[in-house]
Amino acid sequence: MFVLVRRVDLADVIGAALVWKASGAGARSIAARLARPVDTVRGWLRRFERRAEHICVYFTVLLVDTGVDPIPPALAPTPFAQAVSAVIGAWRAAVSRWPDIGKVSPWQAASAASGGRLLSPIWP
């Protein structure tokens, strides 16, 4: 799945914004990098931040359940960054078991794992 429900931009574009935010970038600089409206980017970041704890738990469980020799992600400085780390960690764990999953990005895999609802208020 390459898109998220009710989003025009591809999962990879939104995922890039989430990674940059986890690294400390602000909405304006992310919007400029992606050539997207700042309000759109701010909306993605706020929605993910509101759901960060739930996203982190969901993808950490997925990581542990799918990994050949799972290693949970190290603690991150913020819940937002922790959730991003869990998403990427779950993708790595899936790739360790099923190498062909590496043909898609972590954000495409996260979109598929969430049924396209990664930023949905009613998921997980």
The residues spanned by each domain of the chain are 11-113
pLDDT band at 123 (very low <50, low <70, confident <90, very high): confident
More confident residue, 22 or 1: 22
H-assigned helices in the chain:
11-22, 27-34, 38-66, 79-97, 106-113
> How does pLDDT run across 79-117, given as a tens digit for each residue?
999 999 999 999 999 999 999 999 999 999 999 999 988
Structure tokens at 17: 């914004």
pTM of the model: 0.93
- Report d(CA 104, CA 109) in Å as an integer: 7
pLDDT, tens digit, for every residue of 31-76? 999 999 999 999 999 999 999 999 999 999 999 999 888 888 888 9
Q: Copy the structure tokens of residue 119.
A: 């930023």
The reported pLDDT for the residue numbered 1 is 58
Torsion of CA 28, 34, 38, 40, to 10 degrees: -140
Q: With a cut of 80, say whether residue 5 has pLDDT above it.
A: no
> Tokens at residue 25, please?
């970038």
How far does Cα 29 stand from its chain's mean position?
Answer: 19
